[in-house]
Structure 1
Amino acid sequence: MGPIIIVDLLMLVACCQGVKIIWDNDIEVDLNEIDDDSGRSGERRVPNWFFIFPGTKWCGAGNIAENDADLGTERDTDKCCRTHDMCPDIIEGHATKYGLENPSFYTRLICDCDEDFYRCLKSVNTKTSTQVGHIYFTGLGTQCYKQEYPIAGCNKYTTFPRRKCLEYIYNKGMPKKYQWFDIRNF
């Protein structure tokens, strides 16, 4: 799972509730100092491991590994997450790259990285890899980006848990360009 995605989702929830997150290592996450009616900001202490999937060191927000070779007891699933976390082509939240503006508050990855992550988790085929896959691909349901012919429509949708295009229609008469694509459910 991407290193920023789950943290950002938690931060959105916390922000809306006027909570300031303070990590175990005393790094403070600024949530725009939203005050409650009393004029005081809420505070919650969250351990770093809170966002890491049990049995892994790389599946979740960031990682708790001591080095790149350090893996949890769910080694094969952790390898998938480590590779995904190290995706070399990302667009940070609210950033622009390739003419695409990421309107989300979380990082989006190039589709190749998400597709490799999907295949990796499927090939591991354990309870943990399946749970991680469902959380990232079905639960978060983000989008990825790639360079393709312009999207002209959609032939096939999934509607659970949210509407996503499963089969795109392309305008092959136009040059390829970078654009957003729905990631498939796990």
Structure 2
Amino acid sequence: MSLWFLILLFHCVRGWGIARDSLREEDNMIKFIFPGTKWCGSGSVAEDENDLGSHPETDSCCRDHDMCPDVIEAGGSKHGLSNHAPYTRLHCDCDDQFKKCLRNSTDDMKVSQVVGTLYFDLLRTKCYKLEHQVTGCSNYNTIAMRCEEYTMDPSTPKSWQWFDVPVFHI
């Protein structure tokens, strides 16, 4: 799914906020923020780290995800990997924590479910981690169009590699 489709989707979903953050020059672009949150979407409209929307648990999941300490910005490179996607990609540990946090949210379940579905199921991004060389995919989900379980060669040294993010829905 392309970023442009998500932008179109955000325009069509009732209540999505469109904001322009002028605090930082690199943020001087249109952002799509999920209703009732300040951190869930493309960037943040929060005044500070403690500023959360009306769905605070879901919003704190998004805030923590946004603050992942190991990211590769769009067009950037790190750990020998290049991110050619038009959005930031994160270490798989951060995406795993984000998924768990959203699933455990006691906010209106529809909010965390929609945020999780948009990020994990529709965006279908990739994450990265240090792992033995991938030799194949032992469990490919044809509906979600991603590998859910990889086969690896434990005799190889670990290297940084891209992995499909997990499916959000149980």
Is TM > 0.5 for Structure 1 vs Structure 2?
yes
Deviation per residue, 1:139-183 (Å, 9 max, x gap): 00000000000000011011224x200110001111000000000
2:146 maps to 1:164 = yes
Superposed counterparts of 1:1-186, under 5 Å: 9-10=3-4, 24=20, 51-124=32-105, 126-161=109-144, 163-186=145-168
Q: 1:12 to 1:130 in 2, by over 3 A?
A: closer
Q: Percent identity?
A: 48
One-letter amino acid of the counterpart of residue 85, structure 1: D
How far apart are 1:92 and its partner, in Å? 1.1
How far apart are 1:98 and its partner, in Å? 0.6
One-letter amino acid of the counterpart of residue 148, structure 1: E
TM-score (norm 1): 0.74
Alignment RMSD = 2.7
Query: CA separation in 1, counterparts of 2:166 and 2:21?
Result: 36
One-letter amino acid of the counterpart of residue 153, structure 1: G
Q: 1:51 to 1:171 in 2, by over 3 A?
A: same
Point out where structure 1 has 5 or more consecutive residues left out of the alignment.
1-7, 15-22, 30-45
Contact 2:6 2:123 in 1 (8 A): no
Moved over 4 A (4+): 10-14, 23-29
How far apart are 1:28 and its partner, in Å? 9.1
Query: CA separation in 2, counterparts of 1:25 and 1:107?
Result: 18
Query: CA separation in 2, counterparts of 1:113 and 1:100?
Result: 17
Point out where structure 2 has 5 or more consecutive residues left out of the alignment.
9-18
How far apart are 1:118 and its partner, in Å? 0.3
Counterpart of 1:128 in 2: which secondary structure? helix
Q: 1:100 to 1:156 in 2, by over 3 A?
A: same
Q: 1:72 to 1:154 in 2, by over 3 A?
A: same
Contact 2:37 2:53 in 1 (8 A): yes
Deviation per residue, 1:37-74 (Å, 9 max, x gap): xxxxxxxxx8x5x6110011110111111111111110
TM-score (norm 2): 0.81
| Structure of higher CA gyration radius | 1
